[in-house]
Structure 1
Amino acid sequence: MSALALAMVAGPAVAAAEDDRANDAQAIPDIIVTAQGREQRLQDVPVSVSVVSGAQLEQQGIRTLQDVSSRVANVRITTGSLVNSINVRGVGSGENPGFEQAVATFADGVYRSRSRTTMTALFDVDRVEILKGPQTTFFGANASAGALSITTRKPGDSFDYNASGLYGLSDGEYNFEGGATVPLTATLSGRAAIRVSGMEGFVDLPDGSHGPHDNSVQGRVSLRWKPSDNWTTDLRVDRARSRIEDYAPFQLTHCPAAAPFPSSSVCAAMLAANPDLDTKLDFNSQSLPSYSRFDFFETALTNNFDVGPGTIRTITAYSDMKVKQRQPLIPVAYPTASGHDPFPIEAKETYKFFSQEIRFESETGGTLEYAFGGYYQHGKLYYETQAGFFFNPGLFPSFPALVETVFGDYPGFDASYALTGAPYSTQRENSFSAFASLTIRPVERVRINLGGRYTDVTKKAHRYLVIGSSENGVAESLVPYDLATPVGQLPLPIAACLIMGCTTGDFATNKVHDNKFMPSVGVQLDATDDVMLYATYSKGFKAGGYSTSSSPSVFGPETVNAYEIGLKGSFLDRALTLNLAAFRMDYKGLQETTFDSNLASSITNAAGARSQGVEVGVGWKIAQGVRLSADLAYLDATYTDYKNGECTKLSQYQPSAADPSLTVCEANGGIQDLSGKRRAYAAKWSGSVGMDFTVAAAGGNEFRASPVVNFSSAYFMTATADDLFRQKAFRKYDLRLGYGPADRRWELAVIGRNLTNVATSSYRLGVPGADGSVLSLVERGRSVGVQLTVKN
Structure 2
Amino acid sequence: MKLKLNAITRCLGAVSFTVALSYSANAAETTAQIDEGKLEHITVTSTKRTQSINDIPMSIQAISGDQLQAESIEDLGELSGSIPNLMISETLGTTQVSIRGMGAGTERSLEQSVSMFIDGIYMPRSRQYRAPFLDTERVEVLRGTQAVLFGLNSTAGAISVVSKKNTADDDFNASVSVDHETEYEDTVVSVAAGGGVTDTLGLRLAVQQKTSDGFGENTYDGSTIGEKDETLVRLSGVWNASEDFIVTAKIENAQYEVDGNLQNTFTTIKDDLGYVIDRGEFSFDENYDASMLDLFDSSAIGNTSTLTDTRSSAGLEQESTNVAVEISYDINDYTLTANIGYSDFDFIHALDLDSNSYNIIPALLGMAPTPNTGGIDNILHEAYEQNSFELRLASPVNDDFSYIVGAYFQSSDLENQNSNIVNLTEVYPVLSAIYLGDPTIIPPGYDWVEASFEQETDAFSVFANATWKITDSSRLIFGARYITEDKEHNRTVSNQFGFDSGNGEVVWTDMPLGGGVAFTATNPVKDDRTSENFMPEVMYQFDLNDDIMMYAKAGTSAKSGGFAASVNITPEQFEYDDEEALGFEFGSKMSLLDGDADLNIALFRTEYDNLQVNTFDPITAASTITNAGESLSQGIEIEARWMLNDWLMLGGSFAYLDAEYTDYKNGSCNLRETLDAIYAGGECNSSDKTDQPMPFSPEYSGKVYADIEAPITDSLVLTAGASVQFSDEFYTESSLDEVGLQESFEKVNARVGIKSADDIWSVNILGKNLNDEITLGSYQPFLGTNIATFKPGRTVNVQFTYNFEG
* Class of the TM-score when normalised by the shorter of the 2 chains: 0.7 to 0.9
More moved, 293-302 vs 694-703: 694-703
From 452, 464, 487, the counterpart of 1:436: 464
1:617 aligns with 2:657: no
Show the counterpart of 1:267.
Answer: none
Please report the TM-score for the alignment, with normalisation by the length of structure 1.
Answer: 0.88
Show the counterpart of 2:5.
Answer: none
Counterpart code for 1:568: K
User: What value does the CA root-mean-square deviation take over the aligned residues?
Assistant: 2.5
Given that 2:432 and 2:441 are in contact with CA atoms closer than 8 Å, whether structure 1 keeps it comes out as no
1:88 aligns with 2:99: yes
Show the counterpart of 2:416.
Answer: 383
2: distance between equivalents of 1:23 and 1:162? 32
Kindly state the Cα deviation for residue 200 of structure 1 after the two structures are TM-superposed: 1.6
1: distance between equivalents of 2:640 and 2:272? 47
1:533 aligns with 2:547: no
Show the counterpart of 2:351.
Answer: 327
CA gap of 1:481–1:651, structure 2 versus 1, over 3 A, is same
Counterpart code for 2:598: T
1:505-542 Cα offsets, whole Å, 9 max, x none, are: 134x6011100100000100011111100000000011
From 557, 575, 586, the counterpart of 1:554: 575
2: distance between equivalents of 1:678 and 1:335? 35
Show the counterpart of 2:449.
Answer: 421
CA gap of 1:453–1:739, structure 2 versus 1, over 3 A, is same
Mapping of 1:602-641 within 5 angstroms?
602-641=624-663
1:303 aligns with 2:327: yes
Question: Aligned with 2:54: secondary structure?
Answer: helix
CA gap of 1:400–1:674, structure 2 versus 1, over 3 A, is closer
More moved, 127-136 vs 210-219: 210-219
Show the counterpart of 2:726.
Answer: 711
Question: Aligned with 2:697: secondary structure?
Answer: coil
1:493 aligns with 2:513: yes
Mapping of 1:368-767 within 5 angstroms?
368-393=401-426, 397-399=430-432, 415-416=444-445, 418-469=446-497, 481-483=509-511, 492-496=512-516, 499-507=517-525, 510-550=527-567, 551=569, 553-596=574-617, 597-654=619-676, 661-663=680-682, 666=684, 670-767=685-782
Question: Aligned with 1:653: secondary structure?
Answer: helix
Counterpart code for 2:281: K
Show the counterpart of 1:275.
Answer: none
Counterpart code for 1:520: E
Given that 2:167 and 2:201 are in contact with CA atoms closer than 8 Å, whether structure 1 keeps it comes out as no
Structure 1 unaligned spans of 5+: 1-8, 11-21, 264-277, 484-491
1:274-333 Cα offsets, whole Å, 9 max, x none, are: xxxx95213333244520000101111110111123101101111111110111232221
2: distance between equivalents of 1:732 and 1:741? 30
Show the counterpart of 1:60.
Answer: 71
Given that 2:484 and 2:533 are in contact with CA atoms closer than 8 Å, whether structure 1 keeps it comes out as yes
Counterpart code for 1:587: Y
1:318-372 Cα offsets, whole Å, 9 max, x none, are: 1111110111232221269996431112100000100010001111122011000
Show the counterpart of 2:793.
Answer: 781
Kindly state the Cα deviation for residue 209 of structure 1 after the two structures are TM-superposed: 4.7
2: distance between equivalents of 1:191 and 1:403? 64
Given that 2:413 and 2:456 are in contact with CA atoms closer than 8 Å, whether structure 1 keeps it comes out as yes
Counterpart code for 2:520: C
Show the counterpart of 2:179.
Answer: 166
2: distance between equivalents of 1:380 and 1:547? 16
Kindly state the Cα deviation for residue 399 of structure 1 after the two structures are TM-superposed: 3.4
2: distance between equivalents of 1:33 and 1:92? 24
Kindly state the Cα deviation for residue 493 of structure 1 after the two structures are TM-superposed: 2.8
2: distance between equivalents of 1:530 and 1:121? 37
1:146 aligns with 2:157: yes
Question: Aligned with 1:261: secondary structure?
Answer: coil
Show the counterpart of 1:44.
Answer: 55
Counterpart code for 2:513: P
The sequence identity of aligned pairs, in percent, is 26
Show the counterpart of 2:298.
Answer: none
1:473-531 Cα offsets, whole Å, 9 max, x none, are: xxxx9976435xxxxxxxx43432xx334223134x60111001000001000111111
Structure 2 unaligned spans of 5+: 1-16, 19-32, 291-313, 361-369
CA gap of 1:708–1:327, structure 2 versus 1, over 3 A, is same
Kindly state the Cα deviation for residue 53 of structure 1 after the two structures are TM-superposed: 1.1
CA gap of 1:401–1:89, structure 2 versus 1, over 3 A, is closer
1:553-606 Cα offsets, whole Å, 9 max, x none, are: 211000000000000001001111100000000000111112123323231011
Given that 1:610 and 1:638 are in contact with CA atoms closer than 8 Å, whether structure 2 keeps it comes out as yes
From 346, 363, 366, the counterpart of 2:396: 363
Mapping of 1:219-298 within 5 angstroms?
219-254=233-268, 257-261=270-274, 279-288=280-289, 290-298=314-322
CA gap of 1:116–1:396, structure 2 versus 1, over 3 A, is farther
Kindly state the Cα deviation for residue 156 of structure 1 after the two structures are TM-superposed: 2.3
Kindly state the Cα deviation for residue 135 of structure 1 after the two structures are TM-superposed: 0.8
Kindly state the Cα deviation for residue 400 of structure 1 after the two structures are TM-superposed: 7.7
1: distance between equivalents of 2:153 and 2:513? 37
Question: Aligned with 1:137: secondary structure?
Answer: helix
2: distance between equivalents of 1:200 and 1:43? 43
Question: Aligned with 1:623: secondary structure?
Answer: coil
1: distance between equivalents of 2:531 and 2:69? 42
1: distance between equivalents of 2:194 and 2:440? 64
1: distance between equivalents of 2:359 and 2:217? 22
1:24 aligns with 2:35: yes
Show the counterpart of 1:274.
Answer: none
CA gap of 1:284–1:465, structure 2 versus 1, over 3 A, is same
2: distance between equivalents of 1:82 and 1:532? 43
Query: How many residue pairs were aligned?
Result: 728
Given that 1:281 and 1:776 are in contact with CA atoms closer than 8 Å, whether structure 2 keeps it comes out as no
Counterpart code for 2:471: V
From 115, 127, 133, the counterpart of 1:116: 127
2: distance between equivalents of 1:621 and 1:247? 45
Given that 1:466 and 1:480 are in contact with CA atoms closer than 8 Å, whether structure 2 keeps it comes out as no
Question: Aligned with 1:25: secondary structure?
Answer: helix
More moved, 741-750 vs 436-445: 741-750
Question: Aligned with 1:510: secondary structure?
Answer: strand
2: distance between equivalents of 1:203 and 1:76? 24
Given that 1:420 and 1:478 are in contact with CA atoms closer than 8 Å, whether structure 2 keeps it comes out as no
1: distance between equivalents of 2:319 and 2:711? 45
1:725-764 Cα offsets, whole Å, 9 max, x none, are: 1111111111111111234221100011011111111111
1:137 aligns with 2:155: no
Counterpart code for 2:472: E
1:1-50 Cα offsets, whole Å, 9 max, x none, are: xxxxxxxx99xxxxxxxxxxx98222101221112111111111011111
CA gap of 1:478–1:127, structure 2 versus 1, over 3 A, is farther
Kindly state the Cα deviation for residue 767 of structure 1 after the two structures are TM-superposed: 2.6
Kindly state the Cα deviation for residue 190 of structure 1 after the two structures are TM-superposed: 1.3
From 203, 211, 229, the counterpart of 1:190: 203
1: distance between equivalents of 2:184 and 2:629? 45
Question: Aligned with 2:286: secondary structure?
Answer: coil
From 218, 241, 255, the counterpart of 1:205: 218
